[in-house]
């Protein structure tokens, strides 16, 4: 959970009722579905998110795979 930078666009990951949601600024909130403990996918688009943790277990970034592109989203909050 937190705020991530998607190429200069703030993107929020939130948790509600044990479910994760993604909201890119200016777009509707969509649910993320788990593939594993750190990997999630969307049902509304062909896209995957992977959360990357440091040695202490803290999430430091998310990696977006969509449309043949891989974009690193740095965690800012």
Alpha-carbon 40 to chain mean position: 8
Q: What is the CATH number of the domain that holds 60?
A: 2.40.128.50
**pLDDT band at residue 66 under the 50/70/90 scheme:** confident
What pLDDT, in 10s, does the model give residues 19-30? Answer: 999 999 999 999
pLDDT of residue 40: 93
Number of domains in the chain: 1
**Max Cα–Cα distance, the chain, nearest Å:** 34
Q: Measured on CA atoms in the order 68, 22, 42, 29, is the torsion positive or negative? A: negative
Tell if the pTM clears 0.85, that is, is over it.
no
Residue found under tokens 């600024």: 25
Domain that holds residue 31: 2-75
């Amino acid at each position: 959970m937190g705020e991530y930078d998607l190429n200069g666009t703030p993107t929020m990951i939130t948790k509600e009722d044990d479910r994760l949601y993604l909201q890119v600024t200016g777009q509707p909130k969509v649910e993320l579905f788990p593939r594993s403990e750190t990997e999630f996918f969307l049902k509304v688009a062909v896209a995957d998110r992977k959360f990357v943790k440091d040695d202490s277990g803290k999430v430091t970034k998310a990696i977006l795979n969509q449309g043949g592109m891989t974009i690193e989203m740095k965690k800012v909050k």
